[in-house]
Chain A
Amino acid sequence: MEMLTLQNISIVTAFLLMLIGLYGALTTKNILRIIIAFDIFDGGLNLFLVALSYMNNRVAPIIDSTTGTEKLSSKFVDPIPQALVLTSIVIGVGVTAVMLTYAYKMYKYKNTLNINEYKDARW
């Protein structure tokens, strides 16, 4: 396997981002940093899915005068992961906004962002 292709670099980067995000979410105590760590994980996941859809010597799945309308399945990269990532990004934005709202509410009641102080949210 050739190591330095565009796809390999993207996938390794995506995996590293996911690991950084997971580590950050598990170790930090500040709830805002945990949210940022989740977003880094999210970004890694999206990058991984898009990298999976990439194939060498193929173009983005948009029909125009240079691609024609014949034999498109041998010219285009996979459109399905791209459509799924579009969904995933939008939902990521919604989830991040809701998490930030919860963080604000927690800060208001406890006057701290440290999750160790949120004793009643523990099990």
Chain B
Amino acid sequence: MFKKLFVIAIVAGFAVLLWSYLRHYTERTTLNDLSTYYVDNTAQEIGAANVVTAIVVTYRGFDTLGEVTILFVAASLIAMFLKSMGTEKSRNPRPASLILVTAQKLLFPLILIFGVYIFINGHLTPGGGFQGGSVIATGFLLWLMANPDGHAPKGLLNTIESISGFGYVAAGLFGLALGLGFLDNRFLGLGTLGHLFSAGVIPIIYSFIGLKVGAELSNVLHHLNEIQNEE
């Protein structure tokens, strides 16, 4: 009883905080200085049509490197905790329905291609490496549902992940070596605004991020699927 009152008091206190924010809230009508700089200079400095991508990959590229690292650490933690303990029993899962299996055969390549499309066009349209990688992982989830006993190509996934992580850092260091700065995108030439081959090294970095995120999330899904085989 006392505990329940305590919880309600905490939630009510939080609600009062949020309400006091909402009461004095007025809609902004102008961008602040930093956003104005990003929006006005992206076209000349970065050459990417999507301003959010320019911020994520170049202006705050170091931040994104940290984000990729966090995802990598999370995936490694899961792989460490869920390593099978050797007490595997054969589960004999109910086979997936015919509809799911047939649809998966048709949809799996399409979903992969859609994911690749999203991260290759990350600098032109809404999308990017993280979104494309997540779409690829959903395709992999569909595959796991259709083949509950299937074994994922773990070695291939790990290789893709390592190569793309290495490529991301290498692309950053390459900019540094040419005297421009870590993760600077300009050493490839900016191209024409709005074309696929534009914005310097951004499409390459975003493709690396997309492959890495896709492989990592697929690995996580695979590990979470595998624990069902344990006792």
Contact = CB atoms under 8 A, between A and B. Distances in A.
B70 interface: yes
Given A27-B7, A55-B27, A19 B14 contact: yes
A106 B49 CA distance: 47
- Chain B interface mostly: helix
B25 A19 contact: no
Contacts of A83: 52, 55-56, 60
A23 B11 contact: yes
A101 B126 contact: no
Given A12-B22, A60-B126, A87 B64 contact: yes
B206 to A, nearest CB: 12
B74 A63 contact: no
Interface string B9-26: 011001100110010011
- Chain A interface mostly: helix
A121 B83 CA distance: 23
Nearest to A95: B74
Interface residues of B, number: 57
B88 interface: no
B194 A15 contact: no
A82 B52 contact: yes
B136 interface: no
B107 to A, nearest CB: 22
Given A79-B52, A90-B130, 20 more contacts: A1-B25, A5-B27, A11-B22, A12-B22, A61-B39, A62-B49, A69-B43, A73-B31, A73-B39, A73-B40, A86-B56, A87-B56, A87-B64, A91-B67, A93-B71, A94-B70, A98-B78, A100-B224, A101-B224, A104-B82
Interface of B: 4, 7, 10-11, 14-15, 18-19, 22, 25-29, 31-32, 34-36, 38-40, 42-43, 49-52, 55-56, 60, 63-64, 67, 70-71, 73-75, 77-78, 81-82, 124-126, 128, 130, 134, 193-194, 213, 217, 220, 224, 227, 230
Interface of A: 1, 5, 7-8, 11-12, 15, 18-19, 22-23, 26-27, 55-56, 60-64, 69, 72-73, 76, 78-80, 82-83, 86-87, 89-91, 93-95, 97-98, 100-102, 104-105, 108
